[in-house]
Amino acid sequence: MKTRITELFQIQHPIIQGGMHHVGFAELAAAVSNAGGLGIITGLTQPTPEDLAKEIARCREMTDKPFGVNLTFLPSFNAPPYPEYIQAIIEGGVKAVETAGRSPEQYMPSLKAEGIKVIHKCTSVRHALKAEKIGCDAVSVDGFECGGHPGEDDIPNFILLPRAAEALTIPFVASGGMADGRSLVAAMALGAEGMNMGTRFIATQDAPVHQNVKQAIVDADELQTRLIMRGLRNTERVMKNAAVDEIIRIEELKGDAIGIEDIRHLVTGVQGRKVLQEGEMNAAAWSCGMVAGLIHDIPSCDDLISRIMSDAESIIRQRLGGFLTS
């Protein structure tokens, strides 16, 4: 299946593994890339640029296929040393960067000068158009269904994807609610040229997270996620657990006076690692998409991607083809 996304990133299948904090390590990125998709190392999961350089080198030992690095741009008062992280990406020979958070505009010249393709995560058409304007090669359009940060507009992909298709000239992938061959075909019918999956890739044998996390996704349905930090305009979709119940209680108690310090102890990276790496399922809030309701097993990335592409082809040739009349 050839699309502008497969051509842009030189991959076999139009499937991207999104950057995920404390999940996007070399093991997962290499497994996705070896299966024909685009694996992504999460840059800021690595404590320093030197650590990122080592992780890129580790990934190179596991795959000879293209892979990328995610860089999430945080508020300037808390900014990591982005130029040094970008230098590690350049020196590591990585040719794809997924950017997220704030605009990557100030870093685009250094990335483009090295021939690096940039795909920016956007939760609205206006942000996607800005990404196109500043020179991004593609965008990942994230609907309200997605795990992590869905933005503040609450627009689901059935509306957001065709709106993006109407407005953009650069290619885009669908993110949020993506899990299987049905997802891929639907996304492409709505104008996308591939899909980005996060939660689905957590529930794989190759994801370097605790088995408790994978099983929690398999056991969940589409009703098990919650939205937190809405009052802070930093909305995050997370899996319901005791920590999330406490966050919601505090938010209701504080109302408009809520501040990040009121809930920091339940949303920090340190606590998140306890969930993802140690399997302490109530230690913190952790990102998860509504797509958990469509996830029923824990395959290898190779088996998952092969199944997605096979199912997509069957849907196109058999189910949809069967609706056509001469």
Average pLDDT, the chain: 96
pLDDT in tens, 137-194: 999 999 999 999 999 999 999 999 999 999 999 999 999 999 999 999 999 999 999 9
The answer, yes or no, to whether residue 326 has pLDDT greater than 80, is no
* Per-residue buried b or exposed e for 51-81, using 16+ beta carbons within 10 Å of the residue's own CB: ebbebbeebeebbebbbbbbbbbeeeeeebe
d(CA 62, CA 30) in angstroms, rounded, equals 6
How does DSSP classify residue 179? -
The CA distance from 278 to 38, in Å, is 27
Eight-state DSSP code of residue 106: G
Residue 76 pLDDT greater than 80, yes or no = no
pTM for the predicted model, two decimal places = 0.96
| Residue 79's pLDDT band (cuts 50, 70, 90) | confident
Question: How does DSSP assign 200-265, residue by residue?
Answer: HHHTSTTS-S-HHHHHHHHH--TT-EEEE-TTTT--EEEE--HHHHHHHHHHHHHGGG--HHHHHH
Domain ranges of the chain: 4-209, 225-287
Angle ∠(213,217,223) on CA atoms, nearest 5: 135
β-bridge mates for residue 117, sequence order: 96
Amino acid at 265: H
- Please give the pLDDT value at position 75: 75
pLDDT at residue 207 greater than cutoff 80:
yes
Give percent of the chain with pLDDT exceeding 90: 94
Tell me the average pLDDT across 252-271.
Answer: 94
Pairwise CA distance, residues 325 & 86, whole Å = 53
> Is 4-209 a domain of CATH 3.10.129.10?
no
Confidence of residue 74 (pLDDT cuts 50, 70, 90): confident
User: What is the rounded average pLDDT of the residues 298-309?
Assistant: 98
- Is the confidence at residue 239, as pLDDT, over 70? yes
90-126 pLDDT, tens digit per residue, is 999 999 999 999 999 999 999 999 999 999 999 999 9
Distance between CA 248 and CA 275 in Å, rounded?
Answer: 19
Instruction: Give dist(CA 125, CA 272) in Å, integer.
Output: 31
Q: Would you say the C-alpha torsion 115, 1, 208, 27 has a positive or negative sign?
A: negative
Structure-token pair, residue 21? 């904090």
Instruction: Please determine, for residue 77, whether its predicted confidence score (pLDDT) is greater than 70.
Output: no
